[in-house]
Structure 1
Amino acid sequence: MSRADHMDVAAYALGVLDEHDTERFEEHLATCWACAAELETMVPVVGMLSDIDGETMTALEQTQTNPALLDRTLVSVRAHRRRTRFRQMLATAAAVVVFGGLTGVGFSTITEDSRPGVQAQPSIGAPSGPPVTSRPADPGDPPIGGPGSQPEGEKINETDATTGVEATFFVASKDFGTGVNFILGKLPGPRVCRLVVVRKNNTTEIISTWSVPGGGYGTNQSPGLLTLGAATSTPTSEIKHFQVQSVDANGVASPLVTVKPD
């Protein structure tokens, strides 16, 4: 069997022969057991060679008489196959990226939980229900601790004879120092106020500041009382007194009411 006949076997297997050459080869195939055997061995790899077109086969036939052309053809075929594989890998990677971006977590959920016998477990999160909102304390709110209750600590009532401001303090000794809750009334506004701790050694500490609106607190215009809380690191035993002060625009403070723990 000549080399040309062998090339005809490959070309016939790939279906690239024209009608005339196909008929001629089939006539030859009927009487040539060698070509028939060669054709049989090529059947399993026809799918692998199906991407080689007629031009490539023609080039391969020409290389039988030109070794240099054979080398160039082989290089070109190898490069073409590398480019084809590279494009296939890029296409596959792009598809994965696009699909993953569209499906997000759902993709991983499908791949992980679609196995037989695997059941998705309910997630544990925040309890359902209406959203929780908060609001600042209002002077009209119930007394500290709710109706019928009062904060812990020593209760002290005081009304300043000059300003008329009324104060109720609850002073509690704590491991961290002293906690204090206080209620103010007959406090006119507008003004800025602060609560000052005066120690027995005559040093002072500002532990709370707030603004009073125009209507004030516990007044005829605004009857609601002001309820606040504060804390200091100073032990109760070292406190001389608490003083509510009014501070003007220049930062000058004047006393409104003074409360002395027992």
Structure 2
Amino acid sequence: MSRPDHMDVAAYALGVLDEQDTERFEEHLATCWACAAELETMVPVVGLLSGIDGETMTALEQTATDPGLLDRTLVAVRADRRRTRFRQLLAAAAAVVVLGGLTGIGFSNVISDAGPTDVVAEPTRDAPIDQPPTGAPTAPATGPGVGGNEEEGDQFDATDPTTGVQTTMFLATKDFGTKVNFSLRKLPGPRICRLVVVRKNATTEVISTWSVPDEGYGTNARSQGLELSASTSARLADIKQFQVESVDANGVASPLVTVKLT
């Protein structure tokens, strides 16, 4: 094949060869690797040229004799394509607005595709808002069970005039005997204490022991009182008194506060 035959690659790629020249070039292409490689590189260029209209091609032909005209032509073509793309974007946006007005979705659907949005919960009509509490105020509890349910049983309060220790006891009759819930205040430390049941028949029983730290309970150093629970097999009717005692290192006990039942 002659040198002009090799020059037919571009013409073949653009589809401007007649039927006879096309068949002749395809026969040559089957045996010429150079033309085949060149044709492969021209495929993207052909795709770009397919978007150029006849008027643009005519203008490009005229630039062969005027390099300055080539630059101006390329600038004009790029500007025209940018304007065309901008007009297409405006038309698409207008279509979305119209569609949104007709269907009730509009740009909200477009925005929702960009990511999750914050959901603000509205208050229900049934829930009262900022309503003052009803009912008469109750006096603050000072004994065991503060912050919980009311203690069961009979309440007994006592303050020792010598030591100043205060106690509140709730005594409830149970099948096993007597349940005791009690609190202590103005109890200094450090010391070891115990709760003793004194029956009417003069017998005694230690039903609880505990230690008091340096700051004590219900004192200036620690305002919170001590709350404890205990139980005894003695029936409430058989009990004369409960006595809180302090026990020294030698085991000698001294009374701190006494709750008398009879």
TM over 0.5: no
Normalising by structure 1, we get a TM-score of: 0.45
Q: Which has the larger radius of gyration?
A: 2
